[in-house]
């Protein structure tokens, strides 16, 4: 007659708090690296995104702290990855893209555009916790002369290709916004007129798009119509 053998659990009651803590930490880590999947625009943001399907040039104007830059970063991340949600009715690419994004100064680009797309600039351990999903952020180049700033990122696209986003600053001047052929440009805050039109020209060959977000009180000083 065979004797019955019992197996004991590999986890003792005393080890459960530590196990639960590790599981919670892993859950939080995964959530932090998939923010794009939970982006849901409010009405004005949704209208702005949808307009990209039929307009090459767009402007989102709203008061400060209303999510202007966040919606711009989300759109950039959708295009870079191709991970468009079911509710998306804006412009789409079924291939990898090349693009630029920038703000007034390198510090502004780093602390706004880069932070929202990649994660906290001053903590490299958090790179991959921005709106570009962590598993899709496969490479980057550093910007020389600007602490914690990136020059570009390489992003996996669902098509199998790799998108490239370059970071820029208006303070570089117009000549640094030349030469490239791009699918989209994201202007975070109002660019000088010469840089705006230089950027728009970069998208002519691809019939690409440009967009900007401005505060209610920052515009009206420049005429962007030729």
User: What would the pLDDT profile of 190-223 be if each residue is shown by its tens digit?
Assistant: 999 999 999 999 999 999 999 999 876 444 445 5
**Residue 175: what pLDDT?**
95
Q: What is the mean pLDDT of residues 91-99?
A: 98
Q: Where is pLDDT greater, at 33 or 36? A: 36
Cα 31 to Cα 226: distance, rounded to the nearest angstrom: 45
User: What would the pLDDT profile of 162-176 be if each residue is shown by its tens digit?
Assistant: 999 999 999 999 999
**Residue 62: what pLDDT?**
81
**Given pLDDT bands bounded at 50, 70 and 90, which one contains residue 1?**
very low
28 has catalytic annotation? no
User: What are the structure tokens assigned to 109, written together?
Assistant: 């680009």
Residue of 28, 50, 57, 189 with catalytic role: 189
Residue 154 has pLDDT above 70, yes or no: yes
Closest CA to 95 of 156, 185, 159, 166: 159
User: What would the pLDDT profile of 34-53 be if each residue is shown by its tens digit?
Assistant: 999 999 999 999 999 999 99
User: What would the pLDDT profile of 105-147 be if each residue is shown by its tens digit?
Assistant: 999 999 999 999 999 999 999 999 999 999 999 999 999 999 9
**Residue 64: what pLDDT?**
76
Q: What's the predicted TM-score (pTM) here?
A: 0.85
């Amino acid at each position: 007659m065979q004797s019955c053998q019992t197996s004991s659990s590999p986890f003792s009651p005393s080890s459960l708090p530590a196990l639960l803590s590790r599981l919670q930490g892993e859950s939080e880590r995964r959530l932090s690296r998939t923010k794009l999947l939970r982006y849901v625009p409010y009405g004005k943001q949704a209208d702005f995104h949808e307009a990209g399907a039929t307009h090459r040039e767009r402007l989102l104007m709203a008061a400060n702290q209303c999510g202007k830059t966040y919606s711009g970063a989300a759109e950039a991340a959708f295009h870079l990855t191709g991970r468009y949600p079911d509710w998306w009715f804006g412009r789409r690419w079924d291939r990898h893209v090349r693009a630029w994004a920038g703000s007034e100064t390198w510090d502004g680009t780093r602390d706004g555009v880069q932070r929202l797309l990649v994660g906290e600039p001053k903590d490299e351990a958090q790179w991959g916790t921005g709106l570009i999903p962590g598993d899709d952020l496969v490479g980057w180049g550093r910007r020389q002369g600007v602490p914690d700033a990136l020059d570009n990122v390489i992003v996996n696209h669902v098509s199998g290709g790799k998108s490239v986003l370059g970071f820029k600053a208006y303070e570089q001047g117009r000549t640094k916004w030349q030469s490239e052929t791009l699918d989209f440009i994201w202007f975070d805050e109002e660019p000088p007129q010469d840089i705006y039109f230089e950027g728009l020209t970069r998208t002519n060959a691809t019939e690409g798009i440009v967009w900007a977000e401005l505060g209610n009180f920052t515009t009206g000083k420049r005429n962007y119509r030729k």
